[in-house]
């Protein structure tokens, strides 16, 4: 049996750095969970004559994508009518998300995760950071999701959103869930954890104090920060400090922190985030959907902030999010020369953060010794791909293309557009059968 697989021929783009190396008529050789060589298809076929061939049909061969902020639990919200007008961000949370998460049971948590992970595979994401909430089946929910992650074959960083919004007891249970999961999976090669917090305005000082005391030193937080003006308003009213001051006060603002959104931040706060080494996560589609405004990406980058990219449960399609970020910059600046420089580092920042968390320095690169996370885009690019124009291809072409193959740590999860680990037809049938009861429980809950 062959132990080496050669993926090619295609145009290999070795990373999401600016001006990455490009190999035309290229290929990637994989053995077990590692990349063992990059080169021309001809050379690799000569070097590994007995290798199995995974035909890339001339498509673009890229590193697997990383999503820094997702909510698997939102998967069954599609088509759900909240039955009430939602005029602002607070009403969206109360009318939709905080009812949906309470209505979830173990079956629908599992189904939501499976649906989202299937979409991640379909859109070439091989490492995903999930921010979970299911108050009615809280204990053990992260392990339940971890089981689905293993079945799907991806790498994931899981966290539970600690919140006092349903009372302090539940906040404590959320903290315990995070700590238990971190203790179970602290050094798993494919599963890692962060300490999830919903958002400053729903987490009390008492809870933050507990989080601060009980958090292992190497466990960063994953929190919504300044997604809307509501965060600052209610944090001030309830706790007398801004959201960022609160995180800082409790020692949670550090180089391991993931801060999702950052729409409502001043320059001073952004500078403090830059100094801390925390990463801001831009979620352009979700921000547009909630009409909360837009992260000032240009300012954040100019102030030295590291900025990554997520989808915030809106989709699992990272290249769609990249394109939305790009169009958001152009719409915001009114300058048709803007955008390229601004978004050019987002996917690379995602890879770097995932590399840090998984202790895999080469994660997100197609190079010898790197984890074999590889995707193939179809169809082939219609014009030449060069180091200088990779981003143009991603924004104007690849983001609208489909993924032919998704390989995660050497395992083929999507082969010629078909899932190999998940039965998506069966999952859709189960979801269709389970969602009416979920929606009924949703309707019965008060806002």
Binding stretches for Zn ion (CB under 5 A): 312
Q: Strand runs (DSSP E) across 233-384, as ranges?
A: 258-261, 279-282, 306-309, 374-378
Residue 358 is given by DSSP the state T
Please say which residue, 26 or 262, places its beta carbon nearer to Zn ion: 262
364 burial via Cβ count (<10 Å: 0-12, 13-18, 19+): buried
Minimum Å distance from CB 339 to Zn ion? 24
Angle between helices 346-357 and 318-333 in degrees, nearest 10: 130
Nearest-CB residue to Zn ion? Answer: 312
Minimum Å distance from CB 375 to Zn ion? 24
Please say which residue, 258 or 377, places its beta carbon nearer to Zn ion: 258
Minimum Å distance from CB 295 to Zn ion? 13
Q: Contact 421/94 with Cβ under 8 angstroms?
A: no
Minimum Å distance from CB 99 to Zn ion? 16
Please say which residue, 28 or 142, places its beta carbon nearer to Zn ion: 142
Give me 315's structure tokens.
């989709």
Q: What are residue 186's phi and psi, to 5 degrees?
A: -50, -35
Please say which residue, 228 or 312, places its beta carbon nearer to Zn ion: 312
Minimum Å distance from CB 225 to Zn ion? 10
Please say which residue, 199 or 362, places its beta carbon nearer to Zn ion: 199
Please say which residue, 60 or 117, places its beta carbon nearer to Zn ion: 117
**Cα 63 versus chain centre, distance:** 15
How far is Cα 413 from Cα 415, in angstroms, rounded to an integer? 7
Minimum Å distance from CB 234 to Zn ion? 17
Give me 285's structure tokens.
């589609």
Please say which residue, 90 or 392, places its beta carbon nearer to Zn ion: 90
How far is Cα 91 from Cα 84, in angstroms, rounded to an integer? 9
Rg (CA), the chain: 21
Contacts 24+ apart (CB under 8 A), 432-439: 434/76, 434/107, 434/108, 434/111, 435/76, 435/108, 438/76, 438/100, 438/103, 438/104, 438/105, 438/108, 439/80, 439/103
Minimum Å distance from CB 444 to Zn ion? 25
């Amino acid at each position: 049996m062959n132990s080496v697989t050669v993926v090619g021929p295609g145009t290999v783009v070795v990373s999401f750095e600016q001006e990455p190396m490009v190999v035309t008529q290229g290929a990637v050789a994989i053995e077990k969970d590692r990349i063992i060589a990059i080169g021309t298809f001809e050379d690799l076929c000569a070097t590994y004559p007995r290798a199995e061939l995974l035909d890339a049909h001339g498509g673009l061969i890229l590193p697997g994508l990383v999503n820094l902020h997702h909510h698997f639990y939102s998967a069954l919200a599609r088509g759900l009518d909240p039955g009430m007008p939602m005029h602002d961000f607070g009403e969206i949370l109360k009318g939709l998300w905080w009812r949906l998460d309470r209505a979830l049971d173990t079956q629908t948590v599992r189904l939501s995760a499976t649906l989202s992970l299937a979409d991640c595979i379909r859109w070439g994401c091989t490492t995903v950071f999930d921010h979970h909430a299911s108050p009615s089946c809280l204990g053990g929910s992260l392990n339940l999701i971890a089981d689905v992650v293993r079945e799907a074959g991806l790498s994931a960083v899981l966290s539970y959103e600690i919140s006092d919004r349903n009372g302090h007891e539940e906040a404590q249970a959320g903290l315990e869930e995070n700590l238990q999961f971190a203790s179970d999976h602290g050094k798993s090669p494919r599963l890692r954890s962060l300490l999830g917090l919903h958002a400053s305005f729903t987490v009390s000082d008492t809870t933050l104090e507990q989080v601060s005391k009980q958090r292992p030193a190497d466990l960063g937080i994953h929190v919504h920060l300044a997604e809307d003006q509501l965060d600052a308003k209610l944090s001030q009213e309830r706790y007398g400090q801004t959201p960022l001051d609160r995180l800082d006060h409790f020692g949670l603002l550090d180089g391991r922190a993931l801060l999702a959104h950052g729409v409502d931040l001043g320059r001073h706060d952004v500078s403090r985030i830059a100094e801390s080494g925390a990463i801001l996560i831009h979620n352009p589609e979700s921000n547009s959907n909630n009409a909360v405004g837009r992260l000032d990406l240009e300012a954040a980058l100019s102030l030295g902030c590291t900025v990554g990219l997520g989808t915030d449960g809106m989709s699992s399609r990272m290249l769609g999010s990249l394109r939305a970020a790009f169009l958001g910059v152009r719409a915001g600046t009114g300058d048709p020369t803007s955008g390229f420089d601004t978004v050019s580092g987002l996917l690379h920042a995602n890879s770097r953060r995932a590399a840090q968390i998984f202790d895999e320095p080469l994660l997100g690169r197609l190079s010898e010794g790197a984890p074999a996370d590889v995707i193939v885009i179809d169809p082939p690019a219609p014009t030449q791909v060069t180091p200088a124009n990779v981003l143009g291809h991603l924004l104007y072409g690849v983001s609208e293309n489909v993924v032919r193959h998704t390989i995660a740590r050497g395992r083929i999860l999507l082969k010629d557009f078909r899932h190999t680990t998940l039965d998506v037809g069966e999952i859709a049938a189960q979801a269709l059968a389970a969602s009416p009861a979920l929606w009924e429980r949703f309707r019965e809950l008060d806002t």
